[in-house]
């Protein structure tokens, strides 16, 4: 076997992949000069200039625009061979806003969407490319109070691969209520975004029960070469969560009635808080909020954040829990400030 020939083919394959990626980048909306390209591809500037020379010999119409982005950047003429995929102007605006959302703290685990945007961008007309660039400057997305997930990108990728391949996961998981991480063997069911955090529903291989895990709490996770017996077929996330206020399902269901005064009522009615909610208006401008929820641990804190604008009518258990929390807060503030 000629190892030298195999090595040369491997190196040519790497360069070809880099050239294809380079074309996609230079057709995108981001500004790329030689230093930034070298950092992106983890190579030297000499290699980048060599790649640009290859594109030039291949007839790829690129040029350097000193006014493009910060410090200038290379661009490829938009008519260069990519077919137009026929997006409407509104779809272009939607694409720009989706990219802004994923680049913000709203959905931090989906940062590759920017790369997808750049690839789609390269197929669009100059008019639509300008529309996306303008939209990116006119709209913005600030932090939505998302849980910090930047450190668990690898966990998300591992879980995705396990779900697609139907394999088990071996993980180290730390909850706020335990002093040290615990080892778990799980069969993943579903990943979902809710209540400003990413969650995984998985079956515990020890007791064969479906449980809820927060992605940010995984300390390590790896795929085990064993099939996940439970699989995803027939699993319903809606059935698993039941009537939970957000994600944590309690042991029993409660019908809740909460009265909101006339000042708070318009704010409450602006949002669909729960799938079972019903609003009963009153002549004085107040409302009574009705819902059926599984457990009270989550909804009691929702009630508290409305302050004196909300009064729990039913059930008695919820009234008592809210009252206990308020009393604890009052006792705390009656003490000297630390």
* H-only helix segments in 104-152: 113-121, 126-138
Give the CATH number of domain 150-240: 2.30.30.520
pLDDT for residue 103: 66
pLDDT for residue 298: 95
- Fold classification of 3-76 is Arc Repressor Mutant, subunit A (1.10.10)
Whether residue 1 is predicted with pLDDT greater than 50 in this model: the reply is no
Query: Which residue in 176, 118, 145, 151 sits closest to 305, CA to CA?
Result: 145
Out of 37-41, 84-88, 223-227, 258-262, least confident range: 84-88
Higher pLDDT, 213 or 230: 213
What gap in Å lies between CA 292 and CA 289, rounded to an integer?
10
Whether residue 218 is predicted with pLDDT greater than 80 in this model: the reply is yes
Give mean pLDDT, residues 31-39: 88
In the chain, domain spans:
3-76, 89-138, 150-240, 253-333
Highest mean pLDDT among 26-35, 76-85, 132-141: 26-35
Per-residue b or e along 201-219, where b marks 16 or more CB atoms closer than 10 Å to that residue's CB: bbbebeeeeeeebbbbbbe
Highest mean pLDDT among 91-105, 158-172, 251-265: 251-265
Q: Are residues 169 and 186 in contact, defined by beta-carbon separation less than 8 angstroms?
A: yes
Q: Are 3-76 and 253-333 the same fold in CATH?
A: no
User: Percentage of the chain surpassing pLDDT 90?
Assistant: 43
Q: Are residues 323 and 331 in contact, defined by beta-carbon separation less than 8 angstroms?
A: no
81 — pLDDT class (breaks 50, 70, 90): low
Q: What is the mean pLDDT of the chain?
A: 84
User: Percentage of the chain surpassing pLDDT 70?
Assistant: 85
Whether residue 207 is predicted with pLDDT greater than 60 in this model: the reply is yes
Query: Looking up tokens 């778990």, which residue turns up?
Result: 184
The pLDDT tens digits of the residues spanning 268-302 come to 999 999 999 999 999 999 999 999 999 999 999 99
As given in the structure block, the two tokens for residue 304 are 């508290």
Whether residue 148 is predicted with pLDDT greater than 80 in this model: the reply is no
Distances (CA, A) of 328 to 189, 295, 312, 332: 39, 21, 18, 6
Out of 28-42, 67-81, 174-188, least confident range: 67-81
Out of 6-10, 18-22, 36-40, 218-222, least confident range: 6-10
Whether residue 134 is predicted with pLDDT greater than 90 in this model: the reply is no
- Fold classification of 253-333 is Alpha-Beta Plaits (3.30.70)
321 — pLDDT class (breaks 50, 70, 90): very high
Whether residue 155 is predicted with pLDDT greater than 80 in this model: the reply is yes
Give mean pLDDT, residues 100-125: 67
Out of 3-17, 67-81, 183-197, 224-238, least confident range: 3-17
Whether residue 78 is predicted with pLDDT greater than 70 in this model: the reply is no
């Amino acid at each position: 076997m000629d190892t030298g020939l195999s090595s040369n083919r491997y190196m040519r394959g790497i360069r070809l992949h880099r050239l294809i990626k380079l074309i996609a980048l230079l057709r995108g909306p981001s500004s790329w000069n030689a230093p930034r390209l070298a950092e992106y591809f983890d190579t030297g500037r000499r290699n980048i200039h060599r790649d640009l020379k290859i594109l030039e010999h291949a007839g790829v119409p690129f040029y350097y625009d000193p006014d493009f982005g910060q410090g200038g950047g290379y661009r490829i003429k938009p008519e260069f061979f990519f077919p137009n995929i026929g997006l409407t102007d509104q779809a272009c605006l939607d694409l720009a806003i989706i990219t802004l959302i994923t680049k913000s703290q709203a959905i931090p685990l989906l940062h590759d969407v920017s790369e997808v945007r750049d690839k789609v961008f390269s197929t669009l007309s100059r008019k639509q490319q300008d529309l996306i660039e303008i939209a990116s400057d006119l709209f913005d997305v600030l932090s939505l109070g998302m849980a910090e997930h930047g450190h668990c990108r690898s966990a998300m990728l591992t879980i995705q691969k396990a779900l697609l391949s139907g394999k088990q996961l071996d993980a180290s998981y730390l909850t706020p209520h335990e002093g040290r991480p615990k080892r778990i063997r799980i069969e993943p069911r579903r990943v979902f975004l809710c209540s400003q955090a990413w969650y995984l529903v998985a079956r515990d291989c020890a007791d064969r029960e479906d449980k809820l895990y927060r992605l940010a709490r995984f300390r390590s996770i790896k795929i085990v070469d064993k099939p996940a017996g439970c699989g995803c077929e027939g699993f319903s996330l809606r059935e698993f969560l039941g009537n939970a206020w957000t994600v944590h399902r309690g042991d029993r269901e409660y019908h809740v009635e909460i009265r909101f005064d006339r000042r708070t009522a318009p704010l409450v009615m602006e949002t669909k808080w729960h799938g079972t909610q019903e609003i009963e208006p009153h002549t004085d401008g107040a409302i009574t909020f009705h819902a059926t929820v599984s457990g009270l641990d989550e909804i009691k804190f929702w009630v508290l954040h409305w302050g004196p604008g909300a009064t729990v009518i039913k059930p008695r258990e919820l009234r008592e829990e809210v009252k206990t929390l308020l009393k604890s807060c009052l006792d705390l503030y009656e003490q000297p400030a630390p």
